[in-house]
A = this chain, B = another copy of it.
């Protein structure tokens, strides 16, 4: 009877609701000068692997054990380098005309179809992106400057030797900013996730009193709950939520730090959420919202258990493969996916309420402390190709 036409109901990239935070408002496709997780190491073999991040097409190459990332575009006619052939170690060769690039610095080392003395060699360079391979994950620096150490952008306990990481990368519809806001949003979990299968035996509180406090000023904020009300009596609605004998409240995890991640839910730049000691006491959940384009992001979810015991490692991996991936990362967080998609599609003004101070604290932190430039909305971003020299092709010698 009715129909939603996705072509007609798209939020404009810059929303009136975000005007109070102009940098955040402009960051439709993300924030430059940060490290982002791109995929698991095991996802990159001999085949080139293209990924779009922050509006830019990037191709990953594994070469003699090391990993490199280049702009996925041959500067000649714009053909993606993902189709490149491997003619010679340390290089990739564009499939169209045989332009051959050094994967480590993007320099054109040969234009095969123009002979060994081709005058364009050495005059063209494909932009490259620093890559770090740590904890079985490929991290990429997208920025204009020299990269900071990876440790500045990733929680330290995540990089510890005894951190055992399982997880899932998925491409999700919805702007990365609304994904981040959803993750840190104090109120929604207590209503939206009430029907999540993972919480079948858990009584969620009706409401809480929460303050947003910094962990590291300008980089991290966390939520501190000062009151947790399990049930209350509302005008009109009456007593809510109903107590069920099979549901038990469990707030103990907020007060016992059983993991190196500490306690609480924290959000940091450039869009990394930590839910410490959740969904059980000895693991912590991390998620990154890596911008892809205006309307989609790479949603990277991880569960970490800190242990050196081989048995505990095995239990951690098994639990994830058997049920945590499905119940938590898929069904529970799938409820959020629908919300993030709808907030992105909506074109009306927002009307915030008291618990949204978690959202506005995040917006303020981005606005004040962001390291790089916001990437505005547009189809795709072609990075400026470094101009080294010119060659005249119009003359017919």
Contacts and interface: CB of A to CB of B under 8 A. Distances in A.
Interface residues of A, number: 105
Interface stretch (A228-236, A255-263, A322-330): A228-236
A121 B235 CA distance: 10
Nearest to A380: B9
Can you tell how many copies of this chain the complex includes?
3
Interface string A118-159: 111100100000000000000000000000000000000000
Given A97-B192, A113-B207, A393 B232 contact: no
Given A78-B343, A361-B396, A169 B1 contact: yes
B2 A91 contact: no
Given A3-B171, A114-B187, A379-B347, A80 B357 contact: no
Interface of A is mostly: loop
A396 B224 CA distance: 12
A233 B116 contact: yes
Interface stretch (A47-55, A243-251, A278-286, A306-314): A47-55
Contact of A109 (B73, B187, B235, B393): B235
Contacts of A211: 396
Contact of A352 (B4, B76, B93, B346): B76
A188 B74 CA distance: 14
A342 interface: yes
A103 B197 CA distance: 29
